[in-house]
Amino acid sequence: MAMLLVSAPAVADSIEDEIEQRIKPVGQVCVQGEDCGDVATSAVASAGSGEPRSGEDVYNTACTACHGTGAGGAPKIGDTAAWAERIAQGNDSLYEHAINGLNGMPAKGLCMDCSEEEIQVAVDFMVEKSQ
Ligand code: HEC
């Protein structure tokens, strides 16, 4: 009995986490003046913690819609051929394009509440998986 009581809060926590993951709001955002076509883009809901998100977190919320699928001509994560030339231009240029946009690549991948640093770590994450 005592064992059960001790472990119950941990179980409740993990169930809560799971529910939070499932009910996370996913917004459809298309910035005015940008040609977003019919690409489904999910905006990152503010994490609310004030802590910078990891590159993987930012990627999974803001970038995977295009970079996970190749939508709109986005170089797919893990596609080394598609990334080789981009990586060759250097990180500064990749960051600059991710932050300010490049053709079909919207500024900050539409993650308007992402800091530049969060965009950079998301770029690092994609590059790491694509070389
Ligand atoms: C609406 C779709 C879309 C979303 C969302 C998106 N991208 Fe992109 N991204 C693109 C497209 C399309 C390109 C190719 C642009 C080109 O070269 O013409 C691209 C290119 C890039 C490049 C390569 C730039 C270069 O210099 O070659 C980087 C880096 C990048 N995206 C990072 C990100 C990051 C980080 C996120 C998430 C925060 C993100 N993208 C979200 C569509 C998207």
Write out pLDDT tens, residues 45-58. Answer: 444 557 899 999 99
Q: Which two tokens stand for residue 115?
A: 């800091």
* Rounded distance between C-alpha atoms, residue 75 and residue 17, angstroms: 32
Phi, psi for residue 91 in degrees, rounded to 5: -60, -40
Structural domains of the chain, ranges and CATH numbers in brackets:
27-129 (1.10.760.10)
105 lines ligand 1 (CB under 6 A): yes
95 CA from centroid of ligand 1 (Å): 10
Write out pLDDT tens, residues 60-76. Answer: 999 999 999 999 999 99
Give the residue, out of 34, 39, 67, 121, with the most ligand 1 atoms within 8 A of its beta carbon, to mutate for a pocket test: 67
Confidence class of residue 103 from pLDDT cuts 50, 70 and 90?
Answer: very high
74 CA from centroid of ligand 1 (Å): 6
